């Protein structure tokens, strides 16, 4: 059974960099059948796609965040990661990692991790 687990600091100071890792078990991120993505949800609000990565390393970002976002992968650890620079309180959210079959929707999700931006 595929499982995804987010990890990283739950508190980040304003102007610093948010860094999260998604560890995948029960499947390989090197599969050519899937993309891997990040989605966030501010408290009490809706869902926002941040970006996705393919096993080739190709990345796709939301233009609203593109200047601050980097998604990368470590196939040796079966992990992919999110970095968001210059964070503000508006970046406070639950961050989810998820799997996308090629050209399809998010079929497996991690449980999510709350990241609070505060001094």
Q: Give me the residues that bind other proteins (CB under 8 A), please.
A: 46-49, 60-64, 96, 98, 100, 103-107, 109-112
| Pairwise CA distance, residues 44 & 99, whole Å | 23
Q: 74 vs 104, which CB is nearer to other proteins?
A: 104
Can you tell me which residue has the tokens 């090629």? 102
* Nearest approach, Cβ of residue 58 and other proteins (Å): 12
Q: Are strands 18-25 and 108-109 parallel, antiparallel or unpaired?
A: unpaired
* Nearest approach, Cβ of residue 76 and other proteins (Å): 26
* Nearest approach, Cβ of residue 85 and other proteins (Å): 19
* Nearest approach, Cβ of residue 27 and other proteins (Å): 15
Q: 35 vs 81, which CB is nearer to other proteins?
A: 35
Tokens read off for 118: 């505060």
Q: 62 vs 78, which CB is nearer to other proteins?
A: 62
Instruction: Give 3-state DSSP helix, strand, coil % of the chain, rounded to 5.
Output: 5, 50, 45
Phi, psi of 110 (to 5 degrees): -75, 175
Sheet containing strand 69-74, edge to edge, reads 3-7, 18-25, 79-84, 69-74
Q: 24 vs 98, which CB is nearer to other proteins?
A: 98
């Amino acid at each position: 059974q595929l499982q995804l687990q987010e990890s990283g600091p739950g508190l980040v100071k304003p102007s610093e960099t948010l860094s999260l890792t998604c560890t995948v078990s029960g499947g390989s991120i090197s599969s050519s059948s899937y993309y891997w993505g990040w989605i966030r949800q501010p408290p009490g609000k809706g869902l926002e796609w941040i970006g996705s990565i393919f096993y080739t390393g190709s990345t796709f970002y939301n233009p609203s965040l593109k200047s601050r976002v980097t998604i990368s992968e470590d196939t040796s650890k079966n992990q992919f990661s999110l970095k968001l620079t210059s964070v503000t309180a508006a970046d406070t959210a639950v961050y989810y990692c998820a799997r996308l079959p090629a050209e399809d929707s998010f079929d497996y999700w991690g449980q999510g991790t709350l990241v609070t931006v505060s001094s």
